[in-house]
Amino acid sequence: MATADLDPDLSARLFQSAVHAQSLAHAPYSRFPVGAALLGEHGQVFTGCNVENASFGLTICAERAALFAAVAQGVRRFRAVFIAAPTKGPVAPCGACRQVLAEFAPELVVYSRGQSGEVARWRLDELLPHAMGAADLELGGESAAASDES
């Protein structure tokens, strides 16, 4: 499921959601607004935008904002994330977001589009090979993400 291309109409709608989220970003310091739309396994869509803070280290990226919104609503399995960035071409998620997304969806499909309209598509495990996970913490082997499915 995770490796199949999505329906073009669905992809277009998800990029539209990401662009709308991008318009809501709070990025007065970087002036680098980003939006993300995360597709849950049953078609649910969760959006996020980057939210910066004058204390820069407290800033959160769009991808993590979308993921945390989904988890807060009980959704922990995802098919794809769509990213809209102000760059000319597509941009991949930052390292922190790759790690956080991998906690729940190591095979997530990542779509990204910049201002040129060019779309990039990666699998998360291509962007973050050998990710650290719950099993590395020797918590008994079962993934913490999978231990209390909703």
Element (H, E) at 131: none
Which range binds Zn ion by CB under 5 A, 54-62, 67-75, 81-89, 108-116?
54-62
Q: Does 97 bind Zn ion (CB under 5 A)?
A: yes
The residue nearest Zn ion at its CB is 61
d(CA 35, CA 19): 6
How far is Cα of residue 56 from the mean position of the Cα atoms in its chain? 20
Give whichever of 61 and 80 is closer to Zn ion, judged by the CB atom.
Answer: 61
Interacting residue with Zn ion among 26, 41, 94, 118 (CB under 5 A): 94
Which range binds Zn ion by CB under 5 A, 5-13, 77-85, 91-99, 138-146?
91-99
By residue count, the chain amounts to 150
Active-site annotation holder among 63, 107, 126, 142: 63
CB of 129 to Zn ion, least distance (A): 18
Side-chain half-sphere of 24: how many Cα atoms within 13 Å?
16
Tokens of 89: 């071409």
Give whichever of 60 and 75 is closer to Zn ion, judged by the CB atom.
Answer: 60
Side-chain half-sphere of 90: how many Cα atoms within 13 Å?
16
Which range binds Zn ion by CB under 5 A, 26-34, 83-91, 96-104, 105-113?
96-104
Question: Do 64 and 95 touch, CB atoms closer than 8 A?
Answer: no
Residues acting as catalytic residues: 63
